[in-house]
Amino acid sequence: MIGLDSNILVRCLAQDDRVQSARATQLIERNFTTDNPGFVSTVVMVETVWVLARAYRLPAQDIAAAIERILQIDSLVIDSEQEIFASMIAVKNGRATFADALVAELGLTAGCSHTLTFDRKASRLPGFERA
């Protein structure tokens, strides 16, 4: 298995650089299979979402759609896939940022009763409690 960095995912999703976007798409579509998948870590997913939001200024609905496209690529293994999926749903429904939703989901998966936060918006999510 070979890991992918966020810049590969961003270039594949954004298609904004003729050379790098074509190469990123080719890497994902031609080099990986279900028997020989690429690996996307949780950190890479968070970085990808951050870049799409900050550098590309994509709205939450477009970011959720991008996450969904990544999750649907059968030739990629996504670390914490269920938590990533649940976080994408929270973004799609306008309930949270991707990072906040993922923090809550990962905490719940790890067995935390809740995650303490000073963040008012995050504290409205299941899995968080305001400190």
Q: What is the DSSP letter of 97?
A: -
Task: Please tell me whether residues 100 and 72 are part of one structural domain.
Answer: no
Q: Which residues contact residue 110 at a Cβ distance below 8 angstroms, ignoring those fewer than 6 apart?
A: none
**CATH number of domain containing 11:** 3.40.50.1010
Instruction: Give the pTM.
Output: 0.89
- The predicted pLDDT at position 58 comes to 95
Count of domains in the chain?
2
Do 94 and 131 lie in a common domain? Answer: yes
Predicted confidence (pLDDT) per residue in 79-106, tens digit: 999 999 999 999 998 888 999 999 999 9
Strands (E), 43-114: 76-78
Q: Is the domain of 90 the same as that of 73? A: no
- Alpha-carbon distance 76 to 84, whole Å? 14
Instruction: Give tens-digit pLDDT for 41-62.
Output: 999 999 999 999 999 999 999 9
Range of the domain at 91: 81-131
Please check whether residues 14 and 68 belong to one and the same domain: yes
Q: What is the DSSP letter of 124?
A: G
Residues 47 and 85 in one domain: no
